[in-house]
Amino acid sequence: MDKLTHVESGDKSPAYQHLETSGDVLTRHEERDLKRGLAQRHVSMIALAGAIGTGLFLSLGGSIATGGPLGSLLAYSFIGLIVCAVQFALGEVSALLPVTGSFVRHAEALSDPALGFALGWTIVYGTWLSIPSEISAICVLFGYWTDVNPSAWIMTFIVLTAIVAFSKIRYFGEIEFVSALLKILLIVGIILLGLITALGGVPGVPRVGFRYWRDPGPFVPYLADGSWGRFLGFWSVLINAVFSFSGIESIAMAAAEMRNPRVVIPKACKRVFARVALFYVLAVLVVGMIVPSNDPRLSEDSGTAATSPFVLATAAARVAAIPHIVNAVVITSAWSSGNQALLSGSRVLYSLALKGQAPRFFLRTTRWGTPWACAATYVLSSFLAFMALSASAITVFYWFVSLVGCGVLISWSCVLFNHLRLRMAFRKQGIDARRLPWHNAWTRELPICSSDASVLVRRCPLLLHHHPADQWLCRVHQGQLVRLGVYHCLLVSTARGGADYRDIGLVAAVFLGWKLIKKTRWVRLADIPLEEILSAMEALPEEKDERPRGAVRFISWLWD
């Protein structure tokens, strides 16, 4: 029997009737139909695999060319702090409410059912498009080695995606575990080789050190000269950093399929952030040391390992296999990203069906606990990858993708808002927050600061578009940043049809539509049944996972 509070149809208690409509505990469908196949190591490595993606392997060079080595390092570190806030906020809420759909269901339980509905369907829509996007990227990556018709690769990875979609959740966990290990081994190898090269450890290669930080310099002016231009260079890297970290918020999407989620989720959140931050900071530092920001190759984008900053950074070592290794790992990374999109999207769709916000057909599962009806819709959506073979079709496809272009920041903002609402409910009801299964005293004010930062970063594209008025606007004095932002928002939104606000407009329209139709009400803080949830949790504590034994313990620090 599951140790979490769950709802049976015959419960008459007012508190449990509220739980059944708020979505903050396992429903009997989750408890009966889903299987707990994800262990601690799976959850930690799924988070690592989601956070270390193709953005780091292929886009880092463009960031250094735009912002310089120090500008890029500061930008990635700044976004890393936001990621820390998101991880810890998500961990606190998910450890208390470990349900399918994670922060989507949390939004319904802690704020408004209409908000959960809007976020849920936005994520479902975005992940439907993510899988064919990743498959299209894989075709480009294989083009580095062969000129085989892309249709063959598209069909191959559609089949592989379908196999993963309908398999047991444990097999998905094992695939992501291996994928994350490959990424980590590549990053560690590149960092070590890069440091050896920079410090003169490669015969015939002079010591570089921090030479390129002096010439051409630690920052690159962007759109303007002087200190203002250097600031804009740093600012422009922020949005690249966001997409490099994207995926880290999906760690708890399948919480109802985890063993001991109230123990596993906090451990994964605490450990994953430290590892991701370490890998990112060192990778950005090493590439910035070895490759000058004015190297023209950094601005090239073949979509393969040929222009990967990791390959450029280790070119001096003259290891012929490195480009092929990087390309192979990036292929597994792209496939892993598609699989994660499938897992997140299918579980969110399942959670919407649980609450009557999607057809109940999507509640159907296999005997081994996979929601096959939800997974089938994602397998069908993967056939959109064939649109990449047509110039006109790919234009339409990426127009659809642009509708959720910055959905990552919307998801992060929602995670932080959920955490804020939960903490407010604890204070409103006079309950000690230390009763949470995972509690951090310093996170009390963190959601507010991080939400402000997310909103600020969300305006990056508006401030930095290559619009004819950019040069004029960027000559505005540095002290007029607010006025610059307002003018540029109006100008670019008018000129581009508000493209940068499509994702926000989509969420707002769906939220208002559902709220008007269903007449949903904002959840009062006093009505959130925290005492019932905490009492049930304390009555049935979860068991801690056993520590690894044998030779595995020497590498288990990666996930344990």
> What span, in angstroms and rounded, lies between the C-alpha atoms of 44 and 108?
26
The H helix count followed by the E strand count for the chain is 22, 2
Mean of the per-residue pLDDT values for the chain? Answer: 78
pTM given for the model: 0.83
Q: How many Cα atoms are found within 13 Å in the side-chain-facing hemisphere of 389? A: 11
Phi, psi for 38 (deg, rounded to 5) = -100, 120
Instruction: Give the model confidence (pLDDT) of 398-425 as tens digits.
Output: 666 665 556 777 888 889 889 989 999 9
β-pairing verdict for 6-7 and 26-27: parallel
Q: Which amino acid is at 389?
A: L
> What span, in angstroms and rounded, lies between the C-alpha atoms of 536 and 255?
18
CB 57 within 8 A of CB 332: no
Burial of 560 (0-12, 13-18, 19+ CB in 10 A): middle
Q: What is the pLDDT of residue 502?
A: 64
Instruction: Give the model confidence (pLDDT) of 332-357 as tens digits.
Output: 888 888 888 899 999 999 999 998 89
> What span, in angstroms and rounded, lies between the C-alpha atoms of 171 and 64?
38
Query: Whose structure tokens read 């208390």?
Result: 96
Instruction: Give the model confidence (pLDDT) of 473-503 as tens digits.
Output: 334 333 333 333 333 333 333 333 344 556 6
Residue 232 has pLDDT above 50, yes or no: yes
Lowest-pLDDT range of 43-47, 254-258, 400-404: 400-404
The stretch 107-113 carries a mean pLDDT of: 92
Phi, psi for 144 (deg, rounded to 5) = -70, -25
Tell which residue, 77, 83, 81, 65, has the closest CA to residue 281.
77
> What span, in angstroms and rounded, lies between the C-alpha atoms of 274 and 412?
18
Question: What domains can you pick out in the chain, each with its CATH number?
Answer: 32-390 (1.20.1740.10)
Q: What is the pLDDT of residue 14?
A: 36
Q: What is the pLDDT of residue 353?
A: 93
| Residue 480: Cβ within 10 Å count | 12
Phi, psi for 219 (deg, rounded to 5) = -120, 155
Q: What is the pLDDT of residue 40?
A: 82
